[in-house]
C-alpha cells in the first residue's frame, strides 16, 4: 500500500483571489508550493490535487481552461503532481458525489494508486476538504483562517502543513 497527500487547489497551491480562478494570468502558484511538493515527493508521497470547479457547471469557464491552469501548476512545480482531479458540478445545477465534501475524487485516487488511507493526508482551506478526507479515513490539515472553525491542526500555508506531515510520516511496511 502507498501513501499520498491530497491537496485542494485554490488557497493551498495557488492564490485565493475571492472568485473563480480560471484565467491563466490570474492563476498564481504560491511561493512555498514547489519546495513543499518536492519535500513530500522525496518522502515517498503521491501528490494528488482534488478541487471543486463549480464554475464549469455554471457556464463561467470550461474544463479545458481548468486543465490549462493545471498545466501551469505542473510546470511551476516541476511536474511533481501525480494526478489532478476536478469536480465540475455545483448543487444549484447538478448533483455530484465527486464534489467535496463528497469523497469520490479521493476514492478514485485511493483505488488507482493503491493507497492506504491511514498513511494519507488531506490539505485544504475549507471544512469541506477536511470532510472529504474524513469520509475515507484520511487525516486533515486546514490552511488559513477562512473557515470560522476550531479544526486542528490549522496552519498558515502548505510549507507548515508539509512540516507536520513529514514529522508524522509513517514508514511503509
Mean pLDDT, residues 114-140 taken together = 97
Q: What rounded mean pLDDT belongs to the chain?
A: 93
What value, to the nearest 5°, has the Cα angle with vertex 158 and ends 51 and 50? 15
Domain presence at residue 173: no
Picking from 20-29, 46-55, 84-93, 112-121, which range would have the lowest pLDDT averaged per residue? 84-93
Whether pLDDT at 94 is above 70: no
Phi, psi of 171 (to 5 degrees): -75, 135
Domain presence at residue 172: no
Picking from 8-22, 44-58, 119-133, 138-152, which range would have the lowest pLDDT averaged per residue? 138-152
The catalytic site residues sit at 8, 10
So what's the pLDDT on residue 92? 66
So what's the pLDDT on residue 125? 95
Confidence of residue 98 (pLDDT cuts 50, 70, 90): confident
Query: Measured between alpha carbons, how far is 99 from 42 in angstroms, rounded to an integer?
Result: 30
So what's the pLDDT on residue 170? 59
So what's the pLDDT on residue 172? 46
How many structural domains are present in the chain? Answer: 1
The model's pLDDT over 22-51, given as tens digits with 9 standing for 90+, comes to 999 999 999 999 999 999 999 999 999 999
Whether pLDDT at 93 is above 80: no
Query: Measured between alpha carbons, how far is 137 from 120 in angstroms, rounded to an integer?
Result: 9
Structural domain span for residue 100: 4-167
CB 21 within 8 A of CB 27: yes
**Eight-state DSSP code of residue 1:** -
Q: What is the CATH number of the domain that holds 54?
A: 3.40.50.1000
Amino acid at each position: 500500500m502507498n501513501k499520498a497527500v491530497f491537496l485542494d487547489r485554490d488557497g493551498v497551491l495557488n492564490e485565493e483571489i475571492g472568485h473563480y480562478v480560471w484565467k491563466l494570468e490570474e492563476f498564481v502558484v504560491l511561493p512555498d508550493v514547489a519546495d513543499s511538493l518536492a519535500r513530500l515527493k522525496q518522502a515517498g508521497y503521491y501528490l494528488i490535487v482534488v478541487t471543486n470547479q463549480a464554475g464549469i457547471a455554471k457556464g463561467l469557464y470550461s474544463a479545458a481552461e481548468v486543465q490549462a491552469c493545471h498545466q501551469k501548476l505542473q510546470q511551476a512545480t516541476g511536474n511533481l503532481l501525480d494526478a489532478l482531479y476536478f469536480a465540475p458540478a455545483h448543487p444549484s445545477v447538478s448533483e455530484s458525489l465527486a464534489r467535496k465534501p463528497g469523497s469520490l475524487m479521493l476514492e478514485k485516487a485511493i483505488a488507482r494508486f493503491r493507497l492506504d488511507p491511514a498513511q494519507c493526508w488531506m490539505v485544504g482551506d475549507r471544512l469541506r476538504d477536511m470532510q472529504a478526507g474524513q469520509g475515507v479515513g484520511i487525516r486533515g490539515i486546514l490552511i488559513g483562517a477562512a473557515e470560522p472553525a476550531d479544526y486542528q491542526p490549522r496552519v498558515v500555508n502548505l510549507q507548515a502543513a508539509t512540516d507536520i506531515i513529514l514529522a508524522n510520516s509513517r514508514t511503509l511496511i
